[in-house]
Amino acid sequence: MGDSVHRLNTSLSDENFKQSCASIRDKLVRLDQSFINSILEHDDPQKAEIVLPDGRQFIWYLAIGSMNNPISLYLRDLYPIVSYPVVCPNYRVVFRSPSGMADIEPDPGTEFHGVVHLLSNDEMARLDKMESMYRRIPVNVIDYQDQSHLVYAYTTIIPKKTVGLPSERYLDIIVKGCEYYNVRPEYINRLKQKQAVVPRKQSQEFQSFTDIPIDAFFSTEELARHNGTDPTLPMWVCINGKILEYSGLPTADHPEYEEQRRFYSFFQPLYGGRQADYGVAKGLYEPLYKIPLNEEDLSDEHHAMIEDTFITMTTKSSQNNSYWKLIGRLLRPDTEFSTSHVHLN
């Protein structure tokens, strides 16, 4: 029997990643070295924070997942002052079920490689909100010149942690980021050759929402009113032109309450009452496609992939799929319809 374990194929996305890096290169402002030095002169390797005399703070952060990648950083408006590759001893990277996101756990005698970034305190606070399923812990790292430093890394707060497989998309992001920041090739090759992945779907395998009400169209204004801030209106979101309604949190004694509460607190400010495709594309960067700088940059296939991803994630995040109901389509300027089918409320 042949080997059924799937490994990462980076060649499929190499060209678009190069083009994406070129797209953002001109948009990034190169910091003056004297400014960088004025920060680093206050650095203490025994501390994960740098505090300047004027009170400004900067944080050393060890990226273990998608934040290894310059495109992922750019799409989250994170602009490191300094970035460099390191070894993190006595820890290992694991990928957690069900979505395969990276985590770290103590493992004496082993090590992994990652990328350290120096971020402003404001950027780190925003990253804390993005990483709502994680908490910061201090870890010691060693750079490739054998200099050690205390930094922060994220570890998941999810109970009953189980190990799973990363998606091919996610590992591709990590590997390309490691290559970009000059992580040692032997570690990169280990990820490519040893780490099994959940293979990317072919476009013909993408799931899509079915049973869409044929006579229900809603305006962008109506969508915006259902942004989750009005307790009398359910939250809506638009994915690939299709509008879904969130049923609301389960009761506090429900076994999925805490998971759904965390999901809602993360999801609502970002996507409630909005066309979410561009935001999802930024949050779930796919190297197969060139970096989307606006909604128009998304191809039909990219939109379809986002719809498939949303279906997969919402299904995996609960024991059933009852939290979302498909209620209609977004009314677009080029949509042909009878005016009796439009809901403007």
> Do you know the residue count of the chain?
345
Residue 311 labelled as part of a binding site: no
- Residue the block writes with tokens 């009761």: 251
Active-site annotation holder among 15, 49, 111, 131: 131
62 is in an annotated binding site: yes
Query: Hey, which residues does 156 pair with through a beta bridge?
Result: 134
Binding residue per annotation — 304?
Answer: no
Residue 154 annotated as binding site: no
Q: Has 64 been labeled as part of a binding site? A: yes
222 is catalytic: no
Structure-block tokens of residue 37: 């030095």
CA 113/CA 62 separation, integer angstroms: 10
**In the numeric block, which tokens belong to residue 41?**
């002169």
Is 65 one of the annotated binding-site residues? yes
63 carries a ligand binding annotation: yes
Residues labelled as active-site residues: 131
Annotated binding site for substrate: 61-66, 170
Annotated binding site: 61-66, 170
